[in-house]
Amino acid sequence: MNQTKMTIRDLNLWYGDFQALHGMDLEIPENEVTAFIGPSGCGKSTFIKTLNRMNDLVQGCRIEGNVQLDGENIYSHRYDVNNLRKRVGMVFQQPNPFPKSIYDNIAYGPRTHGIRDKQQLDQIVEESLKKAAIWDEVKDHLDRNALSISGGQQQRICIARALAIQPEVLLMDEPTSALDPISTAKIEELVTQLKEDYTIVMVTHNMQQASRVSDKTAFFLNGYIVEHGDTRKIFTNPEHEQTENYISGRFG
Amino acid sequence: MRQAYEEELKQLNISFFRMGRLVNEAIYKSVQAFVNHDKELAKIVIEEDEKINQMEHDLEQSCIELIALQQPVTTDLRKVITVMKACADLERMGDHAVSIAKSTIRVKGNKRVYEIEELISQMAERVKEMVHSVLDAYTVDDVEQAKAVAEADKKVDQMRRDIHAECIEWIKQDSEVVVGSTDYMLVSTYIERIGDYVTNISEWILYLKTGEIVELNTHHHYPEEN
Amino acid sequence: MPTETSTLTTQKTRNTKQLSSKLIRLLVYLSAVVTFGSLLFIILFILVRGVPYITPSLFEWNYTTDNVSLLPSLLTTLIVVGLSLLIATPIGVFTGFYLVEYADRGNKIVKAISMATDTLAAVPSIVYGLFGMLFFVTFLGFQYSVISGVLTAVIMVLPLIIRSTEEALLSVGMPLRQASFALGAGKLRTIFTVVLPVAMPGILSGVILASGRIVGETAALMYTLGTSTNLPTDLFSSGRTLALHMYVLSSEGLHVNEANATAVVLVVFVLVINALSTYLSKRLSKGGK
């Protein structure tokens, strides 16, 4: 059992009058892949965004409760959001590289956090692209616009970009839902490699993906976490009937 | 993803092979104990069967998880199924070794027939080779070898019939050997059964390669069983 | 037989379908030809009528009633456009930024500002002219002068620039901003390094539209800039832009040919501005790092 990296305690979230998350309690263990599964609109995407406070950008969003990163409440007034996001990186559903060169995409984060030295940036760019398993494919044209490469490659560029700021946690919001099966397989492979160095949280619609990639799984339904635990357990013998029904495709 | 899957499959194979070796050892030891009237060794066989059962349980658990989590198809699926079915056969073989060991412990100063014991010893030697050979065939995916092993089982069946006939001869001549001979017949039947399970494993190796479930060396040709 | 009738009907409907699709295609071609043809006709008409009268005397430094030189008005146009954009662009662009990136969308004041800009954009230019005359020329005592003209032009094009800036910024999708925020970038950095480069072509096209509007403007400038034929010497002297110059020439009726020649210069002028700005926006959006 690995150490707990993030702890969520009694988290409630409202969009205006609508309560989207109810009393969430969860531990996210270090160097493991935690998958969130559940039908559309169950709150899993909303929940993952609370972990790096991307919900701050949504108007009328109100949060109560406690999210701790290494024991520190990230919603405390003293907590610096930008620093939080440096430690908790994110990859989105749609590949969203900046319309800049591949190099500048990767270097954006480090530059944001004050790294200006060209040599150092070169090194970070290379390392990040290697970690994201795309270095070999793009090393000869780093100056090409990141939008000119394929969707699967773009997503790995986005992963590399997130890795370039050396986060501790990597949030992935349905990272393969817009990709073809081969690109998907590549990203899944990548995730299993990345967990050596990072704590990964992943939202997925694809049950097989959760079963193949994750160590822990949390099942969401209507803004509640119905069940969470070892992926092995959840996929072979879940405790709740709702979990069983969802995983075996009997509803949703 | 392949990589993680291949890794787990490799682990599965290693465990399966380890279990096979353990079972083979148990069979050999149980027959040794029987022939040598070595009750201590027989007890060890019975104790060690616990380990075999645990291994079977773990292997089955791993297979179930692999199927649930990785959803293998085609050859990948057949590999998992083969391990799952074959390890059940191995476990049954281990149980027969235990039965032989139990007969050893039961024996109390019966009159021995060294000729028959020699035959049983030979038969056990043969089955041991079959087990070894079938595990080999499994690791290298050798269909021909698997078929050869199944073929060899015919000889084992023959040996059992010979032993039974021999026993009956002895019983007719000497009433003192009745109890001992019954045990000889029982043990030879156990060994013959083990041979049948080896044939089963051969069938699973064929399935792994061809995807077809076949029956090798069925007993239907023989008019009279027992 | 029923089958035969049904084939007949399908044949019939197919025929009508083919006919209507042909008709629609014809209409599409026709409207394209009309649009393109009329544009071509106008340009050809202007060129044919104007080119023969483009003489060196039209470009003499000083205007006299004989040479009716257009050079002073050409330069005045450049000055007025340049000064107006210098003032209007920063104000307009920053207002746009405020409205999109900072202001609370639901806020009543913001809604009012948005509505005001929309309304202002639709006001006819003569109204701006009258306002400029009453306010800058008379009330502030600037007289007919470059400053009156420029300030009026600024008010006139401001809504245009604000609107196009707003639209350009809104067209930069949330995903890009999220990507930047998720990397720990602040709002300012996100706006200037991610949003602005992408929005640049849109903003620039708004500015170009604004310059085009000023170049072509007569009504609003007539009562503020005046119609002096000389090159203005300072901010408080009067002048005339090319369009005004042309308007005056043709309305006087004495130099119609020269007016046509001026039209040619004006068209070329506008084309050059357009080409330049297209080139610029391409460069900018490519090099946005």
User: Are C180 and A89 inside 8 Å of each other by CB?
Assistant: no
Residues B98-112 have a mean pLDDT of: 85
pTM of the entire predicted model? 0.74
Encode pLDDT of B117-146 as tens digits.
999 999 999 999 999 999 999 988 899 999
Percentage of the residues of chain C whose pLDDT score is greater than 90: 15
- Residue range of the domain that includes B68: 2-221
- CA distance linking residue B123 with residue B111, whole number of Å: 21
Q: A79 touching C, CB under 8 A?
A: no
- Predicted confidence at residue A249, as pLDDT, reads 82
Nearest residue on chain C to A112, judged by CA atoms?
A: C185
Cα three-residue angle C167-C170-C175, rounded to 5 degrees: 155
pLDDT in tens, chain A (252 residues): 678 999 999 999 999 899 999 999 999 999 999 999 999 889 999 999 999 999 888 888 899 999 999 999 999 888 899 999 999 999 999 899 999 999 999 999 999 998 899 999 999 999 999 988 899 899 998 999 999 999 889 999 999 999 999 999 999 999 988 888 888 888 898 999 999 999 999 999 888 899 999 999 999 999 999 999 999 999 998 999 999 999 888 765
Encode pLDDT of B203-222 as tens digits.
999 998 888 888 876 655 55
Residue in A210, A212, A191, A216 with CA at minimum distance from that of residue B70: A212
Residues C114-123 have a mean pLDDT of: 84
Domains and CATH numbers, chain A: 4-96+171-247 (3.40.50.300)
Window A:230-249, CB contacts with B under 8 Å? 231-232, 235-236
Residue in B181, B182, B127 with CA at minimum distance from that of residue B158: B127
Domain C57-286 CATH (choose: 1.10.3720.10, 3.50.20.10, 1.20.1250.20, 3.40.718.10): 1.10.3720.10
* Other chains touching A, judged by 3 or more CB pairs under 8 Å: B, C
Residues in chain A closer than 8 A to B73 (CB atoms): none
ipTM score: 0.89
* Domain-wise residue ranges, chain C: 2-53, 57-286
Q: B3 touching A, CB under 8 A?
A: yes
Q: Please, do chains C and A touch (3+ CB pairs < 8 Å)?
A: yes
Whether residue B76 lies inside any domain: the answer is yes
> pLDDT confidence of C101, banded at 50, 70, 90?
confident
Distances (CA, A) of B30 to B38, B41, B44, B123, B155: 9, 7, 9, 13, 21
Residues C45-57 have a mean pLDDT of: 84
Q: How far is C179 from chain A (nearest CA, A)?
A: 7
Nearest residue on chain A to C286, judged by CA atoms?
A: A100
- Predicted confidence at residue C99, as pLDDT, reads 86
Contact A169, A5 (CB under 8 A): yes
Asked if residue C288 has pLDDT above 50, the reply is no
> pLDDT confidence of B225, banded at 50, 70, 90?
very low
Q: State the total domains in chain B.
A: 1
- Predicted confidence at residue C1, as pLDDT, reads 44
Q: What are phi and psi of A34, to 5 degrees?
A: -105, 125
Whether residue B123 lies inside any domain: the answer is yes
Contact A25, A218 (CB under 8 A): no
- CA distance linking residue C131 with residue C124, whole number of Å: 11
Measured between CB atoms, which of A189, A208, A232 is closest to B3? A189
* Other chains touching B, judged by 3 or more CB pairs under 8 Å: A
Residues in chain A closer than 8 A to B64 (CB atoms): 236
Q: What burial letters (b/e) apply to B168-186, b meaning 16+ CB within 10 Å?
A: eebbeeeeebeebbebbbe
Residues C68-91 have a mean pLDDT of: 88
Residues in chain C closer than 8 A to A162 (CB atoms): 182-183
Whether residue B226 lies inside any domain: the answer is no
Contact C153, C217 (CB under 8 A): yes
> pLDDT confidence of B224, banded at 50, 70, 90?
very low
Residues in chain A closer than 8 A to C185 (CB atoms): 82, 108-109, 112
* Other chains touching C, judged by 3 or more CB pairs under 8 Å: A
> pLDDT confidence of C9, banded at 50, 70, 90?
low
- CA distance linking residue A36 with residue C223, whole number of Å: 68
Nearest residue on chain A to C175, judged by CA atoms?
A: A96
Contact A148, A180 (CB under 8 A): no
- Predicted confidence at residue A145, as pLDDT, reads 92
User: Are A90 and C182 inside 8 Å of each other by CB?
Assistant: yes
| Domain of residue B136, CATH code | 1.20.58.220
User: Are A232 and B69 inside 8 Å of each other by CB?
Assistant: yes
The count of other CB atoms within 10 Å of the CB of residue C192 is 12
Least confident of B39-53, C22-36, C120-134: C120-134
Say which residue the tokens 């357009």 belong to. Answer: C274
